[in-house]
Copies of this chain bind each other. A is one copy, B any other.
């Protein structure tokens, strides 16, 4: 696969998410050939995917070409390909474009949508883990409105304007809030022929409260904010079946909807070739405090796919969000250099920087290590943190323009229905 042979040890990183990028860029200048593999040529800023789905941002604003990030890094190679299998005995990975030898291998493959074995839901609902998925969802939402305009059948219109979001984590909450704002601000002015009161947003959470990673007080604020926006939240409600028309739940309350968005479960995105004890039921990989995969010497895992349980605060592993991935990437870079120089390794210790979620215009909950807040000021903090976390000033500037547009115009700027071109 045409990767230059050097005298340096070769580190292969699988995945260009938060973990993979933080590791690769922390290895700048170190005596190693770093090869990053990803199926896409860009990094996706997943925390803002819901804004692509709800017509607030262009996909290009929340993605960044990987080659660009590493322009000035020598001993770095990027190849756009999928990793199919790991042959740990001969220290190679099989990719879509051939086999590649490694000295050290790091799996930074992240997570994928998990459906808890609910086949009907997997087939009929929409997930939102990638840019093409978010674009598909955007087109579907807008197409529902257009189709409702064409229909005179009340039941058909109801089905099209009923949205069901499953999962009360940040993704579900933020998407539900965002849909509610489309109902209030976009529907009445753009679709005067539709009765916007017919649009309903339902948020289903299997547990007893929203945003379980945050405090109870933040959960309660979030519930209030959503209720203000007209979202109907159903707690302790788990989906059991969805045939494309009817959502069946464990409480007996069924919902009719043509659009179910599944934000309820993620599982590790492990790679074939690592089996046995290390692979957990949720497809995360057991790692030690140095992110080494159980049973292997030179294979590591970081971020969502890694399950580290040495921290009493997180007996089931760290939360599957950006911060653990970034911090593990930084530390693993140091430890890899320590390995090369025969120095002792440093164990990982997670520094919790806080959590936050935005529910809508002027509405957010933020929990930092030193304070909790909600409302307008929290919303400003949320925007600032997310804006600064984007890669590159072009993305920041374009995102800021779009946010300002939405704020002052009570509107969403990017409402194109784009489908693959058919000749």
Residues of A in contact with B (beta carbons under 8 Å apart)? 1-2, 4, 40-42, 58-61, 63, 65, 67-68, 71, 77, 79-81, 97, 130-133, 135-136, 142, 146, 149-152, 189-191, 193, 392-395, 397-398, 401-402, 405, 411, 413-421
* 8 Å CB contact of A2 from B40, B149, B397: B149
Does the CB pair A136–B421 fall under 8 Å?
A: yes
Closest to A137 in B: B421
Does the CB pair A146–B80 fall under 8 Å?
A: yes
Copies in the complex: 2
Does the CB pair A2–B151 fall under 8 Å?
A: yes
**A-side interface mostly:** mixed
Which residues of B are found within 8 Å of A146, using beta-carbon distances?
Answer: 41, 79-80
Does the CB pair A63–B416 fall under 8 Å?
A: yes
Does the CB pair A416–B149 fall under 8 Å?
A: no
* A287 vs B413: C-alpha distance when bound (angstroms): 37
Closest to A146 in B: B80
Does the CB pair B60–A414 fall under 8 Å?
A: yes
Query: Chain B's nearest CB lies how many Å from the CB of A225?
Result: 26
> Given the interface contacts A132-B420, A132-B421, does A415 sit within 8 Å of B42 by beta carbon?
yes
Query: Chain B's nearest CB lies how many Å from the CB of A159?
Result: 16
* 8 Å CB contact of A130 from B65, B131, B415, B421: B421
> Given the interface contacts A418-B59, A421-B132, does A401 sit within 8 Å of B397 by beta carbon?
yes
Tell me which of A60, A79, A151, A417 has the highest count of chain B C-beta atoms within 10 A of its own C-beta: A60
Closest 6 CB pairs of A and B: A132-B421, A60-B414, A67-B190, A394-B405, A58-B58, A65-B415
Query: Chain B's nearest CB lies how many Å from the CB of A156?
Result: 11
Does the CB pair A135–B418 fall under 8 Å?
A: yes
Closest to A71 in B: B189
Query: Chain B's nearest CB lies how many Å from the CB of A196?
Result: 14
Closest to A123 in B: B423
Which residues of B are found within 8 Å of A191, using beta-carbon distances?
Answer: 67
Query: Chain B's nearest CB lies how many Å from the CB of A192?
Result: 9
Does the CB pair B77–A142 fall under 8 Å?
A: no
Does the CB pair A40–B132 fall under 8 Å?
A: no
Which residues of B are found within 8 Å of A71, using beta-carbon distances?
Answer: 189-190
